Structure 1
Amino acid sequence: MTTVIQGKGLQKSFGEREILKDVSFDIRQGEKIGLVGWNGAGKTTLVKILLNKIEPDKGSVTMWPPDLSLGYLPQSTDYSLSIDFELSEYGEKLMETSKLLGLQIERWDEEDLAHLSGGERLKLYLAKIWANAPEFLILDEPTNHLDMQGVNWLIEEVNDYAGASIIISHDRYF
């Protein structure tokens, strides 16, 4: 299998606290990787390094191809979405996927978006990721705030997903 992301000798500290120490890995096309660990163990820090949101103190990350498209679900319910942009960019696929997730939106406008619950916002953000058809998925606690319909949809989609993925989850069933 072809390597899509490689980390070599990654190290990251925050003050005196060493979070990552000499972390090396190869992620190959199609692999599904689950990251589990205590809060503060460095899971999200590693993801932020992969996304170039923070720099490692030492080491390197290489992606093949260099412009590998990533679908990233942060661990949050404060997802930034703009209905005008989302509908113009992803249109039918976004609406179709939203319905499969059980998200029923009467009108697609900014006012309705502002009143969505955390679970509804999560479903809409997941629909956006799938509509974008990324080559690599990074999902940080994707089952937080999801109902069973959403969890079952996500399990099926991740199982069928041809690309590689990293999933951070405390949900052992997932």
Structure 2
Amino acid sequence: MIGPGAGARVMVATRPVDFRKGPDALAALIGAAYGGDPYSGVICVFRAKRADRIKLVWWDGTGLCLMAKRLESGGFKWPGIQDGVMRLTAAQLGALLEGLDWRRVHGGRRPIAPQNGELREDLAERDIVCALTRFARPLAIGLPPSEERALAHRHLDFYVNGLCARESRRFKS
């Protein structure tokens, strides 16, 4: 996905906004209503009245970026509607964008226990969250649910095994 970087700061407007607004109007709203600076690199997340739509606005150094997403089924897991903003980590934003419950994602780089071998030193819990987000979702390819789950588990096992360092493999030049 083309979008904001992994270490970005995230600000979520908890009250729904008019989704006819473009990036300039949303940037003005950030400054006027929420006291934020839309040109500081912070990612500003907006929701529509319907829980299945989301917009992100951020400054990438060359211009304002606008990303919009609509879920085909279900809805985003939003906090309660109230005035103000709340902060999310980049991992929580990733979960929110996938339609997952962002409250179950905790930030920080906490090493996880080895499974079937030693994990690389740079591997953290967020890598496993990424793997779960990427491979454990329903595949929606027309298979019966039990076969979809089995295929998703095989993909997830393959991905996690690739994260485990079984032996040092180096390319020879």
TM-score normalised by the chain length of structure 1: 0.26
Q: Which has the higher strand share?
A: 1
TM-score normalised by the chain length of structure 2: 0.26
Tell me which of the two structures has the higher relative contact order, counting C-alpha pairs closer than 8 angstroms and 6 or more residues apart. 1
